Structure formats: C-alpha cells, structure tokens
A and B are shown apart, each in its own frame.
Chain A
Amino acid sequence: MPHHSSPHPKERPSAKDVLAMLSEPRTVVRVAIIGALVLCIVGSFAYVAGWLSPGLLTPRRFADGFEEVNGVHPGFRRNHAKGVCVGGYFESNGKGTRLSRASVFEPGRVAAIGRFSLAGGQPYAADGPAAVRGFGLRFEPRHGEEWRTAMIDLPVFAVRTPEGFYDQLLASKIDPATGKPDPAKMTAFLAGHPETVRAMTIIKAKPFSSGFADATYNGLNAFRFANGAGVSTPVRWSMVPVDAFAPEEPAAAQNKNYLFDALIARLRRGPVQWHLIITIGQPGDPTDDATLAWPDTREHVDVGTLTIDSVVDEARGSCRDINFDPLVLPNGIAPSDDPLLSARSAVYSQSFTRRAGETKEPSAVTPAEINQ
C-alpha cells in the first residue's frame, strides 16, 4: 500500500489490539526476525570480544599468567618489575637517513629517557647472573615523533610465538614444595618447542657481561625501516656498549642490588655510551621468528651514539609511568610480520593499565642508594 494513501492512525493501538496483532502468524514471524537480528549482533559482539572462547589467549589472560607465576605486586610492571630510571641523549650521525625517514636519524641530538631492568615479575628479587637484563628506551625528537624500544641482553629470543611465551612462563613457575620450577613441566614445554631448544643453544654459547653498562642490548624482533623514497628495508637493532666487555661474575652474596649499584657507581664516574647498530636483513632472512639469528655477515650500520648520564629511582624518575611499548614507532619505522610484536604491545598495555591504577610502593633500588 503506498504511503501517501495511508495516513498514520490517530490513536495508538490499544493493548488488546497489540495482543491480537501479536497472535497473528505474520507478526510472530516479524517478532522472530527482530529477535534473530538482535541476537545476531549481540552474538557477533560476544564472539569478537572473546566471551565465547574461554580458552583464548588474551592480553588479560597473559597478565594473569604473570601474576600467577610471580604473585601480584601492586604498582609494579608485571614483567621486568625491578628497575631504575636513566636519562641522556642520542647523537645521530645521519647515516640512518638512507634507511629510514624517521627524524631521530637526522644528524643531531635527541633527548632520551630509559629504564634498566631485570626480567621477571619480582620487584624485590636479588640481582643475579641468571637474570636477563632489559633496557627500555624512549627517544623524544623535539620536532618529530617518538620512538620507544624495549631491548634485552640476549642474542635471540627464546620463543617464537606469544603462545610459546605464555607456555614457557607457566612452565617456569616455582613449585612451592621444591623452591624450583617443576622439571617435568619444562621438559614437556621444550619437547613441544624445538625452536626454544635451538635458541637456548645460541644464548648459552655467548658469555654474559658483568653488568648493565657493558652489556649489548638487542631489539630482537625485526622491524621495517622506510626511507624518504619509500624503500622498505627489514632491520634489527642493537645497542653495543663502548665500555669494554667483562665476563659476568658470581652474585655478590651481601648485596641484593649489586648489578644496579654497579651501574650507579659507573655513572658516578661519567656517562656510559652505546652505539646504535642497525643490522640490514637480506631477502630470505626471517623477519617473523625472533629465535633465529641473522648471519653475522649482514651489513651493520652505526647510526649514532647513545649517552646515558643520569640515574634516578623510579619514584622520582619518569620511566616508571612510561610504557616502553615496542610499537610506539615514528613514521619511517614499521612493525615486521613478527607475531610477537603485536602481542608485546597488547600485553605491555594490559600491564600498564593494571599498574596505572594501583598505589605505588617504593622500588628496590632506593633514592638513598643512588644519592650515596
């Protein structure tokens, strides 16, 4: 029936009319259609939200895994919980501009803040030779976009996928009965992850340095640099220390913070420097697998020098409240197809959100230690 010949009824149909209408078969069909449409939208929403897949590995579940293994330490990072803030600058030599148009690579000085940390979710754990050392860094070009990176002192990463990381995390949980991880669980994990076994061989083959200042920090994941002409290059990066390498020594039994104290003492003597080395990948070099090293013969470009000249505890420094999300990248640096990158970004964000709303406890590395 055309609209113009059918004026809308003056009165709203009474409840009786509506009931009568609702009992008509065609109305029942229409109500069913409405219900189906609404259910369809709500169902899709629930599906993409992951509510229909309880087994799904989400950022929330990942952070829960860290809390299950380490306990909950309010206000601290869920991983790399123990750390100290540092500051300085990056002096770019301009050699990076042929690879990336990011303003950080133009010749000149860029302010930087960072955080040295130990891997693990225990904020008051004793320093030791076994702990992986981390270096989060935020470059702040005055007229350009920020670049954040979170590096560690391992030559390759131990796992290839987020699921691998999660399974390894749970397998390394300390059994309260023995005070050690359950060896059966780790054996089972390694049996299912030959890439981790291979990576561990590479990691163990390389001696660790004595402290934070003489360690090489690697970005591990591959990224893509894009230059002004739009040419995209697969890269990895490392911070290579100017300080001479000294092999690590057994933990100093008396001092729980001996690695951090050594860094503080070293900075008191003068600035510590690293060269930012870009490794250029060739076709065929894996960009989606951080457990695999690229051949040593790849071209390395020294794009500038990072100078760290100040150290401050987390309560007074600004590093605690910065998320060193590895996907905060300037135009000219893009993620690769490495599945760890998006997952790291998601889980770092989840960890940041949790601790942001929590009351802060003093860090293990205290102002007194830094000022002495």
Chain B
Amino acid sequence: MAAMILTMLFVGVAMVASLADYHLLFSIHRPLGIAILILVIIRYVNRKLNPPPEFMATMPPEERIVAHASEMLMYAMMFAMPLIGWGMLSAARYPIVLYGPIHLPPILPHSPMLYAVLRKTHTIVAYLFFATFIAHFGAVLFHTLILRDGLIDRMVPWKVRGPEIGN
C-alpha cells in the first residue's frame, strides 16, 4: 500500500505539471485512488480487529505519541485524499470514469466554488502526505539502521536482525 500511495503522489504531482501525459496519468490517478480507498477501509477494519504490536519498551512516551499521531494522520489522509478527489470531480461535474464504461456517481452537488476549495485542499493534503511519508520513512530507517531497536518488527511479518547496542 505504501508503494501505491507513493505512486499516487508521484502520478498526481506529475499529472498537473504535464501536457503530453496529463490524460494518461489522470486515467491512472482515478482508479488507483479508489483502489487505495477500498484498501484503507479493509486495512482499518483489520487494524481494529487485530491491533498492531505494542511499541518497543525502549521508546520514550513522547516519541510514542509522535509515532502514534503520525500513524493516525496517515490513516486520516489515506481516507481523505480519495474522498476529496471523488468529491471535487463531483462538484466540477466531471464524469468519474474508472475504466472503460465503469464510472462512479457524483457524491457532491455541482458547485464550482466547492470544487475550487476541494481542489486546493487536495494539493495541500498531498504535500502534507508526502512530507509525512518522508518523515515516517526517515524515522523507520533511523530506528532500523541506527538504533536497531526492533521497530521494523512492528511493520513486517518476518524477523529482522537484532540490535547491536549494549552487546
């Protein structure tokens, strides 16, 4: 899913800057966004049913708060971005085509002003998402490669080499 989201952010930012590839990228952006929306719903339900492992004992409380908040922020953005995208296309009365004849109904009334606000929000949240992703990515690498405190074990189903500090 991380790969899909990162792809989505890249497709989005490339699309709005491109003349030649705009149409192709936009055709990918819509179904990929809806796929992420479906996956994040499944993922969230799964998280409620099977809570993730606790943070490591070595993590101080303030760091846990930051880590937890960043996870929640990313969930919020994973839900919000496809819905804002779907909503803004609805407000602009663009057909929301996924593939071939498959399209989604509008979820908001036709309103250019509403579109303008959602369109701006979509961009701002996208940059915020990218920044959060980079911070998350950097923090995970710092924990895994430098602190070697086993944080990565919370994320991946296989065991990662243990710590060296204190040995």
Contacts and interface: CB of A to CB of B under 8 A. Distances in A.
A21 B146 contact: yes
A352 interface: yes
Interface in A279-329: 318, 321-323, 325, 327-328
A223 to B, nearest CB: 12
A342 B20 CA distance: 6
Query: Taking each of A7, A9, A335, which has the highest tally of chain B beta carbons within 10 Å of its own beta carbon?
Result: A9
A34 B92 contact: no
B94 A328 contact: yes
B79 interface: no
A60 B134 CA distance: 26
Interface string B131-151: 000100110011001110110
B160 interface: yes
23 contacts: A3-B161, A6-B162, A8-B56, A9-B149, A10-B58, A37-B137, A38-B137, A48-B14, A49-B17, A56-B17, A58-B16, A59-B22, A60-B16, A62-B19, A145-B95, A323-B92, A330-B101, A331-B101, A342-B24, A346-B22, A356-B119, A357-B112, A357-B119
Interface residues of A, number: 63
A1 B22 contact: no
Interface residues on B, range: 35 or more
Given A41-B137, A48-B17, A355-B112, A145 B58 contact: no
A94 interface: no
A321 B93 contact: yes
A1 B38 CA distance: 40
A146 B163 contact: no
Most chain A C-beta atoms within 10 Å of own C-beta, residue among B6, B149, B162: B162
Interface in B5-45: 6, 9-10, 13-14, 16-24, 26
Contact of A323 (B56, B94, B134, B167): B94
B23 A30 contact: no
Contacts of A37: 137, 141
